[in-house]
Structure 1
């Protein structure tokens, strides 16, 4: 049997795992936030383009 698998981790190993797990979670969250901001910015850009097209179409129909 593998000695490494059967032993319990030391306090330092547990602390290191916790730190790395927290860092990975923050990285994942920041990637998620960055993706959400990009999605929101793109949605707002498309909305502005649509409103501009609609306004232009209304102006064309008025004249």
Structure 2
């Protein structure tokens, strides 16, 4: 099994690409979390309104 020898330039390029990939993954995770949180709050508000509806009529 031969081991590939990387040059300084290749290592620098790998570092740069790794930072971009990590940033993109974090960004996607943050978007998904924000969407989830907004949906959860909307559903919570709907549930509270639904539960308060019958009580307000009595």
The question of a shared fold, defined as TM-score above 0.5 by the shorter chain, is answered with yes
Q: Shift in Å at residue 6 of structure 1?
A: 4.2
Structure ID, larger Rg: 1
Partner of 2:15: 18
Unaligned 5+ runs, structure 1:
none
Q: Following TM superposition, where does structure 1 have runs of at least 4 consecutive aligned residues deviating by more than 4 angstroms? A: none
Partner of 2:39: 42
Partner of 1:55: 52
Q: CA RMSD in A?
A: 1.4
**2-structure distance, mates of 1:9, 1:31:** 31
